[in-house]
């Protein structure tokens, strides 16, 4: 279990670029770059608030055993 | 090629609040830069496009056919069983208003700002604020892949709901999930909307918010929903709620969608602090949206005017300290805060009311004139007709 990393996934084809998740994230870990949302993994605490705020369910927090299992739609700045 | 830039007042975001701030700062002699991350001001539109008329002259905006789409006679509030309460111009006067072309409106405000002397930079993204000794001294910006610094005596965060400028500066703008409504809207053609009215549908059809139909003329309308996602079992259901409502209304079910937008509005009480050393926040960035209507264009512009005027004075005096900027803080609070707070209290109550109670309230007040309808009078009417409901609203008496 402790080897598992929580990771956050945005499903780009569902996302409407509405900015709800950006405005609500308490840690300033999400932003809209042009029309695509980006997560700053280092700031994110997986609090789930953005998941609750998204009106179309485009964000989910999943578990993975791989440190670098990034969803193709995800782009972590700085990597 | 971008080398670093310098100005008196830097406005981040060219929405209604930013353009109004820039206009009044420039008009009053400040050297102003306004940056906007989009390539086209006002587009894409993320708005129901309904506004009232009363405040336009206050912020120096003359109604223009370039952005007025439909002038409505009134608003209709539909209870869950679709009893109707009508608010018309006769009663509500200037509270009733226009359905606008929001992209043209935002551009018109930016044109005013530009004509007043504001330097406008498109496709320019603020990516952080810079500080010296705790005081904000401008932003790091990015344009066409190049990063540079814009040094400003005073920075204004007008970057909308998704505002980051306030947070970067350490201002308390965080929202709880219950203090926001998530919205989805279709523009639909071939619908039976009534071009005389903006319609609002309340109750379980849109928990913690409402469904709106704002007419755009010729069987065209903005049909949207705002809900408190914290009230839904599955937050991703917002669209399903709107689709369900459309399906149940034949006059809309036959319509064709020509665009779809989503967005979020804050429905919070006023924030505690909108200024700090070298920085001010205006509009949605300062959570100035009316918690009952979800409308924020008017408050953003009203606060923007005050912000722009204070900004020009403060930079002229070379004093952008927190204390000096309190003139703006006091100004916007005097103009907006009380109503925002009152409407937040009323909203807190409204979101807890059952469909049955909603129906009774609308039933009790329909047929009465809006002129006499303040909260107290509404409660009296409700009490006369449905004495058993008095307990529900005790706190307001
Ligand atoms: C679906 C929906 C329907 C609505 N309907 C209505 C309505 O009918 N009537 C009404 O009065 N209000 C309505 N509102 C609310 C209204 O849209 C806002 O209150 C209004 O836009 C606030 O204006 P603003 O200038 O504060 O922010 P915005 O209009 O959001 O402008 C902010 C600007 O800042 C830019 N920006 C953001 N971050 C950066 C950055 N880092 N760098 C550079 N630029 C940046 C953005 O691109 C944007 O152009 C609605 C909102 C939604 C979501
Ligand atoms: S899970 Fe929480 S901290 Fe992480 S991006 Fe979402 S809202 Fe921000
Ligand atoms: S809240 Fe959802 S739809 Fe809106 S920008 Fe975030 S991920 Fe996209």
Tens-digit pLDDT profile for residues B278-298: 999 999 999 999 998 899 999
Would you call A15 an interface residue with chain B, using a CB distance cutoff of 8 Å?
no
Assess whether pLDDT exceeds 90 at residue B205.
Answer: yes
Instruction: Output the CATH code of domain A3-64.
Output: 3.30.70.20
Of B140, B157, B117, B153, residue with least CA distance to B18: B157
> Mean pLDDT throughout B130-152?
96
> Mean pLDDT throughout B194-212?
94
Q: Do A55 and B235 touch (CB under 8 A)?
A: yes
Q: How far is A23 from chain B (nearest CA, A)?
A: 4
> Mean pLDDT throughout B20-29?
98
Cα gap B179→B191, rounded to integer Å: 32
Greatest mean pLDDT among B24-38, B74-88, B254-268, B351-365 lies in B24-38
Confidence label for B348 from pLDDT (cuts 50, 70 and 90): confident
Q: Return mean pLDDT, chain B.
A: 91
Confidence label for B62 from pLDDT (cuts 50, 70 and 90): very high
Instruction: Give me the residue label for tokens 């809209």.
Output: A32
Q: Do B238 and A26 touch (CB under 8 A)?
A: no
Confidence label for B85 from pLDDT (cuts 50, 70 and 90): confident
Q: Picking from A71-75, B58-62, B124-128, which range would have the lowest pLDDT averaged per residue?
A: A71-75
Assess whether pLDDT exceeds 60 at residue A65.
Answer: no
CA of B312 to the centre of ligand 2 (A): 38
Assess whether pLDDT exceeds 80 at residue A5.
Answer: no
Tens-digit pLDDT profile for residues B226-236: 999 888 888 77
Q: Do B162 and A32 touch (CB under 8 A)?
A: yes
Q: Which two tokens stand for residue B359?
A: 């129906």
Q: Which residue of A has its CA nearest to B126?
A: A33
Confidence label for B375 from pLDDT (cuts 50, 70 and 90): low
pLDDT at B374: 63
Query: Which of B12, B19, B43, B47, when mutated, tests ligand 1's pocket best, judged by the most ligand atoms within 8 Å of its CB?
Result: B47
Does the beta carbon of A44 lie inside 6 Å of ligand 2? yes
Assess whether pLDDT exceeds 90 at residue B150.
Answer: yes
Query: What are chain B's domains?
Result: 5-46+104-175+270-337 (3.50.50.60), 50-99+177-266 (3.30.9.10), 349-396 (no CATH)
Name the closest ligand to CA B38.
1
CA of B378 to the centre of ligand 1 (A): 33
Q: Do A56 and B184 touch (CB under 8 A)?
A: yes
State the SS3 of chain B: CCCCEEEEEEEECCCHHHHHHHHHHHHCCCCEEEECCCCCCCCCCCCCCEEECCCCHHHCCCCCCCCEEEECCEEEEECCCCCEEEEEHHHHHHHCEEEECHHHHHHHHHHHHHHCCCEEECCEEEEEEEEECCEEEEEEEEECCEEEEEEEEEEEECCCCCCCHHHHHCCCCCCCHHHEEEEEEEEEECCCCCCCEEEEECCCCCCCCEEEEEEEECCEEEEEEEECHHHCCCHHHHHHHHHHHHHHCHHHHCCEEEEEEEEEEECCCCCCCCEECCEEECHHHHCCCCCCCCCCHHHHHHHHHHHHHHHHHHHHCCCCCHHHHHHHHHHHHHHHHHHHHHHHHHHHHHCCCCHHHHHHHHHHHCCCCHHHCCHHHHHHHHHHHCHHHHHHHHHHC
Name the closest ligand to CA A24.
2
With an 8 Å Cβ cutoff, the interface of chain B facing chain A consists of 46, 125, 160-164, 167-168, 174-175, 177, 180, 182-184, 229-230, 234-236, 238-239, 260-264, 266
pLDDT at B122: 97
Instruction: Judge if ipTM > 0.90.
Output: no
Cα gap B177→B396, rounded to integer Å: 25
pLDDT at B140: 97
**B106 or B95, greater pLDDT:** B106
CA of B284 to the centre of ligand 1 (A): 7
Q: How far is A10 from chain B (nearest CA, A)?
A: 13
**B130 or B85, greater pLDDT:** B130
Q: Do B177 and A16 touch (CB under 8 A)?
A: no
Confidence label for B369 from pLDDT (cuts 50, 70 and 90): low
Q: How far is A75 from chain B (nearest CA, A)?
A: 17
Per-domain boundaries in chain A: 3-64
Assess whether pLDDT exceeds 60 at residue B1.
Answer: no
Tens-digit pLDDT profile for residues A20-63: 899 888 888 888 876 788 888 888 888 888 888 888 888 887 65
Q: How far is A44 from chain B (nearest CA, A)?
A: 15
Q: Tell me the sheet residues that pair with B213.
A: B199, B223
Q: Do A55 and B234 touch (CB under 8 A)?
A: no
Nearest CA to ligand 3 atom 4: A18
Confidence label for B18 from pLDDT (cuts 50, 70 and 90): very high
Tens-digit pLDDT profile for residues B326-344: 999 999 999 999 889 988 8
pLDDT at B349: 83
Assess whether pLDDT exceeds 50 at residue A1.
Answer: no
Instruction: Give me the residue label for tokens 């770059």.
Output: A33
CA of B245 to the centre of ligand 3 (A): 22
Mutate: best of B161, B172, B176, B182, partner A, most A CBs <10 A:
B182
Does the beta carbon of A9 lie inside 6 Å of ligand 3? no
Confidence label for A67 from pLDDT (cuts 50, 70 and 90): very low
């Amino acid at each position: 279990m402790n080897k598992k990393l929580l990771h956050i996934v945005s499903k780009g084809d569902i996302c409407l670029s509405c900015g709800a998740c950006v405005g609500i994230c308490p840690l300033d870990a999400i932003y809209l770059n042009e029309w695509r949302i980006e997560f700053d993994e280092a700031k994110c605490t997986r609090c789930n608030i953005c998941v609750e705020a998204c009106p179309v369910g485009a964000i989910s927090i999943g578990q993975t055993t791989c440190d670098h299992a990034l969803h193709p739609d995800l782009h972590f700045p700085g990597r | 090629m971008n080398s670093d830039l310098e100005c008196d007042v830097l406005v981040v975001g060219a929405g209604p609040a930013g353009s109004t701030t820039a206009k009044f700062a420039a008009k009053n002699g400040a050297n102003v830069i306004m940056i906007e991350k989009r390539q086209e001001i006002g587009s894409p539109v993320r708005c129901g496009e309904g506004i009232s008329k009363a405040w336009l002259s206050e912020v120096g905006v003359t109604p223009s056919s370039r952005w007025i789409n439909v002038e409505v006679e009134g608003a209709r509030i539909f209870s869950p069983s679709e009893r109707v309460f009508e608010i018309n111009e006769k009663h509500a006067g200037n509270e009733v208003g226009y359905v606008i072309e929001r992209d043209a409106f935002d551009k018109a405000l930016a044109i005013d700002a530009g004509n007043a002397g504001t330097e406008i930079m498109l496709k320019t993204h603020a990516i952080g604020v810079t500080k010296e000794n705790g005081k904000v001294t401008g932003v790091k910006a990015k344009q066409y892949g190049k990063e540079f610094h814009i040094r400003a005596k005073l920075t204004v965060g007008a970057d909308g709901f998704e505002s980051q400028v306030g947070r970067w500066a350490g201002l308390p703008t965080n929202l709880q999930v219950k203090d926001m409504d998530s919205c989805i809207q279709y523009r639909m053609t071939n619908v039976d909307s009534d071009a005389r009215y903006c319609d609002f549908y309340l109750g379980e059809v849109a928990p913690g918010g409402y469904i709106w139909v704002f007419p755009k003329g010729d069987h065209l309308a903005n049909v949207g929903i705002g809900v408190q996602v914290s009230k839904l079992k599955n937050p991703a259901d917002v669209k399903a709620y709107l689709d369900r409502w459309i399906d149940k209304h034949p006059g809309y079910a036959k319509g064709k969608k020509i665009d779809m937008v989503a967005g979020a509005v804050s429905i919070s009480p006023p924030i505690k602090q909108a200024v700090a050393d070298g920085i001010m926040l205006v509009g949605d960035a300062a959570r100035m949206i009316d918690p009952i209507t979800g409308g924020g264009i008017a408050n953003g512009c009203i606060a923007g005017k005050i912000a722009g005027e204070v900004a020009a004075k403060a930079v002229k005096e070379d004093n952008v300290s927190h204390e000096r900027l309190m003139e703006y803080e006091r100004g916007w609070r005097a103009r907006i805060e009380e109503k925002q707070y009152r409407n937040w209290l009323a909203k807190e109550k409204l979101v807890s009311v059952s469909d049955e109670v909603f129906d009774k309230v609308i039933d009790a007040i329909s047929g009465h004139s809006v002129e006499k309808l303040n909260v107290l009078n509404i409660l009296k009417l409700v009490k006369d007709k449905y004495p058993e409901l008095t307990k529900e609203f005790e706190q307001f008496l």
